[in-house]
Amino acid sequence: MTPPPSGPVCAGASTAALGHVPYPSFSSYVRARGPVLLRTARSLTANPCDAEDLLQTALAKTFVAWERIEDHRALDGYVRRALLNTRTSQWRKRKVDEFVCEELPEPAGLPEPDPAERQVLHDAMWRAVMKLPERQRQMVVLRYYEDLSEAQTAEVLGVSVGTVKSAVSRALGKLREDPELTPVR
């Protein structure tokens, strides 16, 4: 591995001023280092064709800056940075495709329970709710059957939100302990 260059890479000076011209032209550099750079590009993409396009874009950027690159020993690093920056830009710009379809795909889930079993569960739950004290029953019905918020339930019943929270918590505790609902868990 060669040590990194000691001076700036792009300083606007010509390569002749350095007295060191390992690549007399851009095309000679590409011919000499192309296969190595292509391997680097392939490591950044999953598709070999995309890797070739990525390398082509990075080399185009390098060609534009060719006269400004002072130290030609650092060309590989310059191109690798161009490859990485280009790939990052492509990744950020990628478009997420959405396709319109006539039917929504249904998630593969559990099969629908038997309607008779659902009715048995519904009846057992309602019997358990009817066993609750009247105030707790009112709050549970408003919160979970009518789908009101705690604040809305408190407003309807004329109590504080804290009262609703504590009463509903006690009511749910009683429902959890109800022996008729035990097999459901």
Residue 184 has a pLDDT of 53
C-alpha to C-alpha distance for 80 and 41, rounded to whole angstroms? 8
Indicate the helix (H) or strand (E) that contains 28. Answer: helix 26-44
Quote the tokens at residue 43.
Answer: 């490591």
pLDDT at 77 over 50: yes
pLDDT at 36 over 50: yes
Per-residue b/e over 149-179, b at no fewer than 16 CB within 10 Å? ebeebbeebeeeeebbeebbeebeeebeebe
Residue 68 has a pLDDT of 86
pLDDT at 94 over 80: no
Residue 113 has a pLDDT of 74
Radius of gyration of the chain (CA): 36
Residue 96 has a pLDDT of 66
More confident residue, 102 or 128: 128
Strand partners, 171: none
**pLDDT band at residue 183 under the 50/70/90 scheme:** low
Closest CA to 57 of 105, 93, 8: 93
Question: CA torsion 143→145→147→148, rounded to 10°?
Answer: -40
- From the number of C-beta atoms within 10 Å of its C-beta (0-12, 13-18, 19+), residue 183 rates as exposed
Closest CA to 53 of 83, 91, 93, 96: 83
Residue 12 has a pLDDT of 41
Summary mean pLDDT of the chain: 81
Q: pLDDT digits over 120-173, tens only?
A: 888 888 899 999 999 999 999 999 888 899 999 999 999 999 999 999 999 999
pLDDT at 105 over 90: no
